[in-house]
Amino acid sequence: MTSATTTSGASSTSASAPTSESAPAEATTPEQQATAALEALDERARVAQLFLVGVPLDDLASGDALAEDGVGGLFLAGRSEAPATELAETTQRWQALAPGPELWIAADQEGGAVQTLKGPGFTRLPSATDQGALPPAELSAQAGRMGAELAAAGVNLNLAPVADIVPAGTEGGNEPVGAFGRQYGSTAPEVTASAGAVVDGLAGAGVTATIKHFPGLGRVQGNTDTRASVIDRVTTADDEQVAAFGTLARSAEHPFVMASSATYARIDPDHQAAFSSIVLTDVLRGQLGFDGVIVTDDVGNAAAVRDVDVGERAVRFLGAGGTVVLTVDPAVVPRMVDAVLARSAADPAFAATVQAAALTALTAKARAGLLG
């Protein structure tokens, strides 16, 4: 990749200024690589980079057309016992079909009840609750082995670890996390240490982690996948759960942060977190200093977003400060892309926000080695 600018001339008196025939300077930083990649894409292709789209694990061939359409990434949806070698053949084909930057290939590989890939080549993982009992160094090593298995199958983005803090004694009533043992502990220090070890272990294998579900699902009862309205009435912007996300998000390993679709009555009572500029821009980016990729939880099939127009789901999320839209349902992507393009054409400020999101998304790809 090359940048749009040339390097300055050398200080030596014998050096001449660059001529029109000089080669442009090589893009050496992730930001420079991302800028060059952005300039090579037309407007629709830039918007397409902001989508992570589900491909059913029982119909992987359907991912070919999505890869050819230039979406930002594909999410392996469901559960599979296919061998890692077979998945690798598919993911390699998808990468070859992608017309622009390489794809994110994502999976939900937490362990316990939430482990997408279980076939030959993938170790069965204990629940996060059991993982949290391991010393951090041992947990990081385990995550490194998991990451190596994912990387061998062509998976470069893991939608894990869970950083939600479920208070002790409330696990059974917490449908999305505690009921399935998806939490690493019941206190901020426990969760931060364990989730941080997983982020580090995955990164060591070349897999980007995703910290979820900001600003936390540890104190809710309902599951946003199956309930239309899930409200946290306790968590504040200064809560230890929020602070734990900030500590993890600022990791040198550049993890993604997944936004919750619940509503937080003491942070922004009027908007679900994924559609809230207070949650995403003021708290996560401003207060906590996170400048990386913010990805939605599923906004294709989730009950929590069904009352929101399909296109508006993408528009509201990006307008609030988000980066990548995750939809398990690939059929809604054209409407979402069209809605983003239409709003951009009508609103220059929104268009600038989308441009910034595309640059953030491509910078993350540069850091992950997906821009060549």
Residue 27: per-residue pLDDT = 65
Q: What is the pLDDT of residues 193-244, one digit of tens each?
A: 999 999 999 999 999 999 999 999 999 999 999 999 999 999 999 999 999 9
String of DSSP letters for 308-328: S-HHHHHHHHHHHT--BEEES
Sort 221 into a burial class: Cβ within 10 Å, 0-12 / 13-18 / 19+: middle
Q: What is the pTM of this model?
A: 0.92
Q: What is the pLDDT of residues 29-82, one digit of tens each?
A: 999 999 999 999 999 999 999 999 999 999 999 999 999 999 999 999 999 999
- The verdict on residue 254 lying in a domain is yes
- The verdict on residue 33 lying in a domain is no
Q: What span, in angstroms and rounded, lies between the C-alpha atoms of 351 and 40? A: 17
Q: What's the mean pLDDT in 3-25? A: 36
- The verdict on residue 16 lying in a domain is no
Q: Which two tokens stand for residue 232?
A: 């946290």
Beta-carbon contacts of 252 under 8 Å, excluding residues fewer than 6 positions away, are: none
Residue 372: per-residue pLDDT = 78
User: Max CA-CA distance within the chain?
Assistant: 75
Residue 21: per-residue pLDDT = 42
Number of domains in the chain: 1
Residue 94: per-residue pLDDT = 98
Q: What is the pLDDT of residues 240-299, one digit of tens each?
A: 999 999 999 999 999 999 999 999 999 999 999 999 999 999 999 999 999 999 999 999
- 280 touches 294 (CB < 8 A): yes
- The verdict on residue 117 lying in a domain is yes
Instruction: Look at phi and psi of residue 190 and say left if phi exceeds 0, alpha if psi is from -120 to 50, else beta.
Output: alpha
Q: How many residues does the chain have?
A: 372
Q: Give the CATH number of the domain where residue 168 resides.
A: 3.20.20.300
- The verdict on residue 140 lying in a domain is yes
- The verdict on residue 269 lying in a domain is yes
Q: What span, in angstroms and rounded, lies between the C-alpha atoms of 341 and 287? A: 30
CA angle at 276 for the pair 273 and 277, rounded to the nearest 5°: 135
The residue among 51, 109, 107, 38 whose CA lies nearest residue 295 is 51
String of DSSP letters for 29-94: SHHHHHHHHHHTS-HHHHHHTTEEEEEETT-GGGHHHHHHTT-SEEEEES-B---HHHHHHHHHHH
**Containing domain of residue 329, as a range?**
46-367
Residue indicated by tokens 């609030």? 320
- 288 touches 249 (CB < 8 A): yes
Q: What 3-state class would DSSP assign to 250?
A: coil
Q: What is the pLDDT of residues 119-157, one digit of tens each?
A: 999 999 999 999 999 999 999 999 999 999 999 999 999
Residue 77: per-residue pLDDT = 97
- The verdict on residue 233 lying in a domain is yes
In this structure, the strands spanning 208-214 and 157-158 are parallel
Radius of gyration over every alpha carbon of the chain, rounded to an integer in angstroms: 21
Q: Which two tokens stand for residue 30?
A: 């992730």
The dihedral built from the CA positions of residue 49, 198, 131 and 218, taken in this order, carries a sign that is negative
Beta-carbon contacts of 218 under 8 Å, excluding residues fewer than 6 positions away, are: 164, 165, 166, 167, 174, 177, 178, 183, 241
- The verdict on residue 291 lying in a domain is yes
Residue 104 pLDDT > 70: yes
Q: What's the mean pLDDT in 325-346? A: 98
- 131 touches 184 (CB < 8 A): yes
Q: What's the mean pLDDT in 288-314? A: 97
The dihedral built from the CA positions of residue 77, 81, 86 and 87, taken in this order, carries a sign that is positive
Residue 12: per-residue pLDDT = 32
Helical pair 188-204 and 240-249, crossing angle rounded to 10 deg: 20
In this structure, the strands spanning 51-56 and 256-259 are unpaired
